[in-house]
Homo-oligomer: A and B are copies of this chain.
């Protein structure tokens, strides 16, 4: 047996995305954000998208390009603190925003990837984040039902990949990527390096290739990925 080869060009993989799709995007700030796939999605032009991402990056960076191009209808996120442009869109009603507690967004995505229906959590149960949520009692204690979250597509940034789609991340560029890479039927990974099958240590793979559909090696590490000078 040999493992299948999933290498594809960026254009070919982004062509799978349709108007109205929900799209998970890895990253927390710049680290782990699939900048090149995002640029390709802007060029592709799919509209009415729902994005699921920890944050909205900063003005002129990452998913802000998709917000600026008007391709995003709805954003499921944890905070927009560093993107005044996104806050403006939200306040004007041009962008629908759903806020989740950060660890709960992570767990909801993980639940989607793990094929479970929901988690029961007490996070935010006495805050306005609980509004409108289903409450379930277990042994007399109330919990919020936090439904699993899946998307049509997940866009992932990895440091190293192999042709089967095994992925390894570095430093804090890991964040939401391993969770999102399990939570969509179409998982597209950009990697800084694609190494031959067998070069990644099977013990240190973060995302098993079994979850990944397409792998593409970045032609260059552009300025988009660089250290931010504020």
Contact = CB atoms under 8 A, between A and B. Distances in A.
A136 interface: yes
Contact of A116 (B119, B147, B203): B119
B120 A138 contact: no
A160 to B, nearest CB: 10
Given A203-B204, A204-B203, A141 B117 contact: yes
A138 B117 contact: yes
Interface stretch (A52-60, A88-96, A163-171): A163-171
Nearest to A148: B120
Interface in A134-151: 134, 136, 138-139, 141, 143, 145, 147
Nearest to A168: B203
A138 B143 contact: no
Contacts of A201: 204
A221 interface: no
A73 to B, nearest CB: 22
Given A136-B145, A138-B147, A169-B203, A118 B120 contact: yes
A178 to B, nearest CB: 12
A175 to B, nearest CB: 13
What are the 7 closest A-B residue pairs judged by CB atoms, nearest first?
A117-B120, A204-B204, A118-B120, A117-B143, A116-B119, A116-B121, A136-B136
26 contacts: A107-B114, A107-B116, A116-B119, A116-B121, A117-B119, A117-B138, A117-B141, A118-B119, A118-B120, A118-B138, A119-B119, A120-B120, A120-B145, A134-B138, A136-B136, A136-B145, A138-B145, A138-B147, A139-B147, A168-B203, A169-B203, A171-B202, A171-B203, A174-B203, A201-B204, A204-B204
